[in-house]
Copies of this chain bind each other. A is one copy, B any other.
Amino acid sequence: MDGRNFYDVTKWKTGDPYQDIGAVMNSIIADIKIRQTDSDENEGGKPGAVIYLPVGDYRLATQVVIDISYLKIMGSGHGFTSSSIRFNTPEDELENWHEIWPGGSRILVDLPAASDEEERSGAAFYVKRDGEPRISSVEFENFCIDGLHFVDDGTKKTSGENTYKNGKTGIYVESAQDSFRITGMGFVYLEHGIVIYHADALAIHDNFIAECGSCIELRGWGQASKITDNLMGAGYKGYSIYAQNFGGLLIATNNIFPRGMSSVHFENVMRSTITGNRFHSFYPGMLVFCGKCSDNMIASNHFFRDYEPWKPMLACDNGQDDGYGILNVSGNYNSIMANHISETVKKDDIKPKGTVPVIIHVVSGVGNFISSNHIVAMAETSVKREKEDEGCYSAQVEALLASDSLAPLKVTTVLIEKEARQNTVLDSGSEAEVVMDRTENAFRATPTV
């Protein structure tokens, strides 16, 4: 498997891949450009290449700059492990650990922390090409990008390793691009996992993107792309999925776990689809549509808004009150259909005190269609989850065993603000549970006994 266009980083003539994989990759890319110069040789001429990372630890001290199409960077292992659990384990206990770092084909991102203004400089992989055509079919497959450490953010809310700040990004695509693929990858301890501007026909599929500030950010504008079948979970300051000025985005079949300021945050997104996902979060605002979000569908998703069970993160949240809504929607002609939306909170944690929590909150807009959603709301009344400070991975099971301590919680299942009109709410709450101007919006209550 070592044809002319196959490069094993451990066998390249220039540089030391263990000391600086970035310099090695840039040297390889330069070689490809020297060898592939003719754009129309016999109906071909620039097929691209594979850069292969065998399993190993590769320090990245120089940013990789990609400006050629058809480049596939691939490893043999996504290598995720929880650095979050590790960094919240006392040093002396770590001595007995089998291993303490992620693995697989692993990039150790050792770039200086970038400021927000210069965040591109903190990216391990930076894609930029001017001119025509748009850069196409770059593929990232089955390796690990590890940001190594988070750093103190000055807030004292939690330890430096829990801040989700380090100015590092895994993959940063600045130029408009076509038919990129990111598959089977692991991302961990990066402030930004993936940042892509101007995406078309992008596929982000079957990755593991967790313990990152934000996981996926699609910025600028974009169209006709898919984020499917990923395991993801952002930090409390960031987004698991963010999209801006997008049309035709498909977000499906993902399992998105806490924390995430939002699981999905759309700004001016239209004709996009959120379906078949499982969302789990610790705060209100799991899904937010802001700006002009129109003609989107949210159907057949499972939302579970839980409470924070883990001691190191108890002081952190996304700042939203319980009146904000699990779903907070501004925009027109969106559909919210056949979703299961569940909330379990500790009664004393509701803020401000006395608030009736809101589940679906339509802030503004016309023509939204909210139909056949099942809302389940519970208060944990007495029993604390045992072991809740031992990490979230057993919390679900504890919750199951403790479920006798749950009591139904009164909520507003749907709140339509005065600014919003001509919306339709069907079978998504009883007369008492739905708050809206029934002269301006259509309503049918879920029948009750």
Which listed residue (B72, B184, B253, B338) contacts A228, Cβ 8 A? B253
Give A372 to B424 CA distance when docked, in angstroms. 11
Give A296 to B342 CA distance when docked, in angstroms. 10
A409 CB → nearest B CB, Å: 12
Known interface pairs A99-B39, A108-B44, A253-B252. Does A8 touch B4 (Cβ–Cβ under 8 Å)?
no
Contacts of A72 in B (CB 8 A): 55, 76-77, 104
B2 touches A106 (CB 8 A): no
Interface members, chain A 153-211 (any B CB < 8 Å): 176, 178-179, 181, 183-184, 186, 200-201, 203, 205-206, 208, 210
Interface size on A, residues (CB 8 A): 152
Known interface pairs A82-B133, A98-B39, A205-B206. Does A55 touch B6 (Cβ–Cβ under 8 Å)?
yes
Known interface pairs A108-B44, A129-B98, A403-B294. Does A300 touch B278 (Cβ–Cβ under 8 Å)?
no
Of the 9-residue stretches A111-119, A347-355, A436-444, which lies at the interface with chain B?
A436-444
Contacts of A270 in B (CB 8 A): 396, 399-400, 403
B205 touches A210 (CB 8 A): no
Interface members, chain A 1-37 (any B CB < 8 Å): 1-6, 8, 10
Output the nearest chain B residue to A179 by Cβ-Cβ distance.
B80
Give A218 to B167 CA distance when docked, in angstroms. 39
Known interface pairs A56-B4, A292-B400. Does A50 touch B70 (Cβ–Cβ under 8 Å)?
no
A330 interfacial by beta-carbon distance below 8 Å: no
A231 interfacial by beta-carbon distance below 8 Å: yes
A148 interfacial by beta-carbon distance below 8 Å: yes
A179 touches B449 (CB 8 A): no
Contacts of A259 in B (CB 8 A): none
Binary B-proximity of A317-349 (CB < 8 A = 1, otherwise 0): 000000000000000010101111010000000
Give A70 to B55 CA distance when docked, in angstroms. 9
A308 interfacial by beta-carbon distance below 8 Å: no
Interface members, chain A 37-96 (any B CB < 8 Å): 39-40, 42-50, 52, 54-57, 59, 68-70, 72, 74, 76-82, 85-86, 89, 93, 96
B106 touches A77 (CB 8 A): no
Give A57 to B268 CA distance when docked, in angstroms. 41
Output the nearest chain B residue to A372 by Cβ-Cβ distance.
B371
Output the nearest chain B residue to A1 by Cβ-Cβ distance.
B1
Contacts of A268 in B (CB 8 A): 400
A289 interfacial by beta-carbon distance below 8 Å: no
Give A224 to B43 CA distance when docked, in angstroms. 39
Output the nearest chain B residue to A200 by Cβ-Cβ distance.
B393
Shortest Cβ-Cβ A-B pairs, 5 listed: A3-B54, A247-B396, A44-B57, A70-B103, A297-B340
Beyond contacts A299-B340, A337-B374: 4 other A-B pairs, Cβ-Cβ < 8 A, are A137-B186, A223-B397, A300-B337, A371-B374
Interface pairs (12), CB distance under 8 Å: A6-B55, A69-B98, A80-B179, A81-B137, A82-B178, A96-B131, A221-B394, A224-B231, A245-B400, A248-B280, A252-B276, A337-B372
